């Protein structure tokens, strides 16, 4: 078998695996019917989020679930976040605004903010939501119904990302691709094995009793990827955590610019793969073989005027197009998958170099080791 044939069959397997694996990414229950309405605490940490406050509050006020409290924490913002919160909340009694305490030296900023929010929450379910998120009016009913259906103690998912900047278009939607490519969802959603899990801190719902049992955010107080680590703690305690396709009901304006996208990925990506040099090298070789070699054959096909050489590249496009179609992202992004992979590899090495040089990651005016 020639090298070209190996690449060709590899891209076929890539598509088959992703389609089969995608069957186990649960949708949220579309028409929820709840026999009771347990109290829900929706908790939002905010730091320098003045630009997101009006959209966030407009979204939260549309939530139809009745037995709910909203607690918003201003984490020492240096802009008008707190003043805008007071203005947008107005006289709505469902909302409470807090000012965060000073950040202890051994805590991650967002983790500490979420910990403070949890201490004030009185709900049977805790929903942690990022300030850049917007949710559908029936998100709470759908989420609880989905947890009931699958007997889950925690649920998370990656939202739809309406990107408006080049780097965001190229990198942010890859989160969906990476999960569906690398995580065996049948195992992740049906077992309590901690190594088979993923989560997204933009949207997490967890039963309060489970949250307390794992020690809440205090158990992951210095983590830069607290969402994944909380999910692992949940599974370590024998509880069920599921990943769902929440894109029809949750969106996130994750980064405002290409620069912010770069800084955000630089902070998270190396930590997200366990700060392993070997994992960076393995993923680089794997992605190069699966995505960049097919693009190389595309160029050969153009030069030699042989359409057969185009097939591996087109199969990587159909793979990415399948993921993007399920998560609501523009299908034209699929044709740029080689460029996205080059940027992702560059991002891994950049993030790794910060750690290996003993420098700190910078995010929203704070430094993280």
Q: Is the pLDDT of residue 91 over 70?
A: yes
| 89 assigned to some structural domain | yes
List the CATH number of the domain containing 241: 3.90.550.10
236 and 303 inside one domain:
no
Residue 260 CB contacts under 8 Å (≥ 6 apart), including other chains: none
Domain end marker among 254, 285, 306: 254
Boundary residue ending a domain (254, 287, 311): 254
Whether residues 296 and 235 share a domain: the answer is no
pTM equals 0.92
Statement to judge: residues 210 and 305 lie in one domain: no
Q: Stretch 291-314: mean pLDDT, rounded?
A: 93
Quote the domain boundaries for residue 14.
3-21+270-368
Whether residue 12 sits in one domain with residue 40: no
**Predicted local confidence at residue 142, as pLDDT:** 97
pLDDT tens, 61-71? 999 999 999 99
Residues 231 and 120 reside in one and the same domain: yes
Which DSSP symbol is given to 23?
Answer: T
312: exposed, middle or buried (C-beta count within 10 Å: 0-12, 13-18, 19+)? buried
pLDDT of 204-257, one tens digit each? Answer: 999 999 999 999 999 999 888 899 999 999 999 999 999 999 999 999 998 888
Q: What domain count does the chain have?
A: 2
Q: Note whether 15 and 144 are same-domain residues.
A: no
Closest C-alpha among 40, 22, 39, 44 to residue 243: 22
Cα separation of 253 and 134, whole Å?
A: 8
Q: In this model, does residue 366 exceed pLDDT 80?
A: no
Task: Indicate whether 261 belongs to any domain.
Answer: no
Of the three residues 254, 280, 299, the one that is the final residue of a domain is: 254
Give the model confidence (pLDDT) of 20-29 as tens digits: 999 999 999 9
Smallest CA-to-CA distance from 57 within 40, 41, 70, 38 is with 70
In a domain, 265, yes or no: no
Do residues 331 and 228 share a domain?
Answer: no
Asked if residue 152 and residue 121 are part of one domain, the reply reads yes
Residue 259 lies in a domain: no
């Amino acid at each position: 078998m020639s090298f070209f044939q190996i690449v060709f069959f590899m891209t076929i397997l890539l598509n088959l695996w992703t389609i089969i694996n995608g069957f186990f990414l649960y949708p949220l229950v579309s028409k929820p019917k709840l026999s009771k309405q347990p109290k829900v605490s929706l908790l939002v940490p905010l730091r320098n989020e003045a630009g997101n406050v009006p959209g966030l509050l407009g979204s939260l006020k549309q939530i139809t679930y009745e037995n709910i409290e909203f607690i918003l924490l201003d984490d020492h913002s240096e802009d008008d976040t707190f003043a805008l919160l007071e203005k947008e909340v107005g006289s709505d009694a469902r909302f409470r605004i807090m000012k965060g305490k000073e950040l202890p030296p051994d805590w991650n900023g967002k983790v500490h903010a979420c910990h403070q929010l949890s201490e004030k929450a009185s709900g049977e379910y805790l929903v942690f939501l990022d300030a850049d998120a917007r949710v559908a009016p029936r998100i709470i009913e759908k989420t609880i119904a989905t947890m009931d259906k699958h007997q889950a103690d925690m649920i998370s998912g990656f939202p739809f990302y309406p990107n408006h900047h080049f780097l965001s278009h190229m990198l942010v939607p890859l989160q969906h691709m990476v999960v569906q490519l690398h995580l065996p969802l049948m195992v992740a959603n049906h077992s309590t094995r901690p190594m088979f899990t993923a989560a997204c801190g933009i949207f997490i719902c967890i039963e309060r009793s489970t949250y307390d049992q794992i020690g809440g955010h205090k158990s992951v107080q210095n983590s830069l990827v607290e969402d994944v680590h909380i999910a692992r703690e949940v599974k370590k305690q024998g509880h069920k955590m599921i990943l769902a396709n929440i894109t029809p009901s949750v969106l996130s304006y994750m980064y405002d610019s290409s620069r912010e996208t770069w800084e955000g990925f630089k902070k998270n990506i190396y930590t997200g793969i366990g700060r392993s040099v070997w994992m960076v090298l393995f993923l680089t070789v794997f992605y190069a073989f699966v995505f960049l070699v097919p693009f190389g054959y595309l160029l050969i096909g153009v030069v030699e005027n042989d359409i057969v050489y185009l097939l591996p590249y087109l199969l990587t496009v159909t793979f990415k197009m399948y993921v993007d179609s399920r998560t609501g992202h523009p299908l034209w992004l699929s044709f740029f998958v080689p460029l996205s992979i080059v940027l992702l590899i560059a991002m891994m090495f950049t993030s790794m170099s910060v750690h290996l040089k003993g420098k700190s990651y910078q995010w929203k005016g704070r430094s993280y080791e």
